[in-house]
């Protein structure tokens, strides 16, 4: 055998021996110990499990899977605002901004001015601006709030036309002016509001209460006249009494030739007159006559009742026609309740939520422009759950109506960006809680939205807010 082949065999034997020696720990007698070893995790394994995967997905699923998204529980903002109406002849407001935190906060305060009004007095360094990029004018302040402090601001407005309630909502934002810390609203009511409402009540003959009272009076008078007429005719009617045949002369009533007695008895005359029994004639029965009211009284009562019925029907039809909303846009599924209309800063309640729209602004600088084009419009909306259980809502049901009559749903992607990446429609609102958030609507064209339609579900009539 050549020397090279002997070396190869020797090398093969050594390799086989090393393989047998390496396989000894895997023999069956050692298997139970190997199985028991993983019962105590090594520190290195625990440390690796606690380290998150770079993609953001947890290394192991949770022990108890979540049954649904957690409800939105708003945190207490470091800054709050309160608004009160002043008791002045002209619309005036007192705004108190409070910083409850332990550090100073840079804020922007915005007060929305109602349509047809302008600011005449502004304190605290605020600036009044016109409707440039917004649906109405506003007053803005840029404030640096010290820790645990309260800042008071005052505004006075001038309105055109007669005095009427004026609502001016106010919100305090971060430095960007889009994400609100808190919002509040107040309504100024003038002294001439009550007399104006009384003057617009209309004449007395057109009021339902007066008409019903007149109808009842007519019926009472007609009934009294009918009762009096019946009583009078009964008293004036002659008494009808049946008269019996009296004593007289002749064969049946008087004394006969034989001196017999009358009155239908037996005669006691001579033997030839044995007496005759005459039958007494039957008494005449008086004919009973049914009393009837006079024709004029029957016709009068019928005419009064007919007039009352026709008047009540006409008034009901007039009220129903006046209550119709001829400008209402078509909706999908408004089956529960009736639509509630209002303006900015007015709380409007539907089946599950109470919506309050505090501000509406459109144009550049509100939020980043959408990739597909269009102009973003941002609405600051407060949503309060008025039910006893958590409620969900959907972005496709929140609409902005344009002056042309077309509408667009809420832009969920842009709304998520405005809420710092949080999907406000994916999380339900807890029972009795209130959330304050921006909603973004992407519109095409130069005209801003005229009205917002907000609702909790497809079967709710929802609310309509005038924002122009």
Average pLDDT, the chain: 73
Structure tokens at 289: 């006559």
Same domain, 377 and 416: yes
Cβ proximity of 157 and 92 under 8 Å: yes
Pairing of strands 105-112, 170-173: antiparallel
Closest to 121 in 3D by CA, of 157, 166, 152 = 157
217 within some domain? no
Cβ proximity of 453 and 398 under 8 Å: yes
186 within some domain? yes
Least confident of 20-24, 91-95, 313-317, 438-442: 20-24
Closest to 102 in 3D by CA, of 79, 82, 81, 124 = 79
**What tens digit of pLDDT does each residue of 162-201 get?**
678 899 999 999 888 888 999 999 999 876 544 444 444 4
Q: In this structure, what CATH number is given to the domain that contains residue 419? A: 2.60.40.1240
Cβ proximity of 447 and 403 under 8 Å: yes
Concatenating the DSSP letter of every residue in 181-223 gives EEEE--EE--TTHHHHHHHTT--GGGSHHHHHHHHHHHHHHHH
Same domain, 351 and 444: yes
pLDDT of 132 above 80: no
Same domain, 344 and 320: no
Q: How confident is the model at residue 4 (pLDDT cuts 50, 70, 90)?
A: low
Same domain, 315 and 399: no
Please give the residue range of the domain that contains residue 165.
79-190
pLDDT of 205 above 80: no
Q: pTM for the full model?
A: 0.57
**What tens digit of pLDDT does each residue of 347-389 get?**
999 989 999 999 998 876 677 777 777 889 999 999 999 999 9
444 within some domain? yes
Non-local CB neighbours of 317 within 8 Å, separated by 6+ positions: none
pLDDT of 343 above 60: yes
Domain boundary among 147, 170, 190: 190
356 within some domain? yes
Q: How many CB atoms lie within 10 A of CB 77?
A: 16
Same domain, 302 and 388: no
418 within some domain? yes
Q: In this structure, what CATH number is given to the domain that contains residue 160? A: 2.60.40.290
Distance separating alpha carbons of residues 315 and 206, to the nearest angstrom: 9
How far is residue 460 CA from its own chain's centroid? 9
Mean pLDDT of the 57-72 span: 47
Non-local CB neighbours of 156 within 8 Å, separated by 6+ positions: 86, 88, 90, 91, 92, 93, 119, 120, 121
Same domain, 460 and 344: yes
Structure tokens at 325: 């909303």
Same domain, 405 and 453: yes
Pairing of strands 105-112, 79-85: unpaired
Same domain, 297 and 352: no
If one counts the domains in the chain, the total is: 3
**What tens digit of pLDDT does each residue of 263-320 get?**
444 444 444 455 555 566 666 665 556 666 666 667 777 777 787 777 777 777 666 6
Distance separating alpha carbons of residues 108 and 177, to the nearest angstrom: 6
């Amino acid at each position: 055998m050549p020397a090279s082949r002997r070396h190869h065999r020797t090398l093969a034997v050594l390799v086989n021996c090393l393989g047998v020696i390496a396989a000894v720990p895997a023999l069956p007698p050692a298997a139970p110990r190997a199985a028991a070893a993983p019962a105590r995790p090594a520190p290195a394994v625990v440390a690796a499990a606690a380290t998150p995967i770079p993609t953001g997905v947890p290394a192991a699923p949770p022990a108890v899977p979540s049954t649904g998204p957690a409800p939105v529980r708003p945190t207490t903002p470091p800054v709050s605002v309160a608004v009160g109406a002043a008791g002045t002849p002209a619309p005036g407001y007192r705004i108190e901004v409070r910083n409850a935190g332990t550090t100073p906060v840079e804020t922007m305060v915005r007060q929305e001015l109602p349509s047809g009004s302008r600011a005449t007095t502004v304190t605290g360094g605020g600036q009044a601006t016109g409707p440039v990029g917004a649906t109405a004018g506003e007053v803005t302040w840029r404030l640096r709030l010290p820790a645990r402090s309260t800042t008071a601001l005052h505004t006075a407005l001038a309105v055109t036309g007669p005095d009427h309630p004026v609502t001016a909502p106010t919100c305090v934002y971060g430095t960007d002016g889009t994400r609100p810390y808190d919002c509040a609203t107040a309504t100024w009511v003038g002294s001439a509001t009550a007399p104006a409402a009384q003057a617009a009540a209309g004449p007395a003959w057109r009021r339902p209460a007066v008409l019903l009272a007149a109808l009842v009076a007519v019926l009472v008078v007609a009934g009294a006249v009918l009762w009096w007429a019946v009583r009078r005719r009964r008293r004036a009617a002659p008494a009808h009494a049946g008269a019996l045949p009296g004593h007289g002369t002749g064969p049946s009533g008087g004394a006969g030739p034989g001196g017999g007695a009358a009155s239908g008895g037996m005669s006691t005359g001579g033997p030839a007159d044995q007496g005759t029994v005459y039958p007494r004639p039957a008494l005449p029965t008086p004919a009973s006559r049914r009393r009837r009211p006079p024709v004029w009284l029957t016709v009068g009562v019928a005419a009064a009742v007919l007039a009352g019925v026709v008047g009540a029907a006409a008034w009901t039809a007039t009220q129903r026609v006046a209550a119709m909303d001829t400008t209402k846009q078509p909706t999908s599924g408004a089956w529960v309740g009736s639509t509630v209309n209002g303006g900015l800063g007015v709380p409007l309640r539907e089946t599950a939520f109470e919506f309050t729209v505090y501000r509406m602004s459109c144009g550049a600088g509100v939020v980043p422009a959408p990739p597909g084009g269009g102009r973003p419009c941002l609405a600051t909306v407060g949503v309060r759950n008025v039910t006893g259980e958590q409620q969900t809502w959907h972005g496709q049901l929140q609409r902005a109506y344009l002056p042309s009559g077309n509408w667009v749903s809420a832009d969920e992607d842009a709304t998520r960006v405005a809420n710092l990446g949080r999907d406000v429609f994916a999380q339900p609102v807890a029972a009795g809680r209130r959330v304050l958030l921006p909603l973004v609507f992407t519109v095409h064209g130069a005209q801003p939205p005229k009205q917002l339609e907000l609702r909790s579900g497809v079967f709710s009539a929802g609310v309509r807010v005038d924002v122009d």
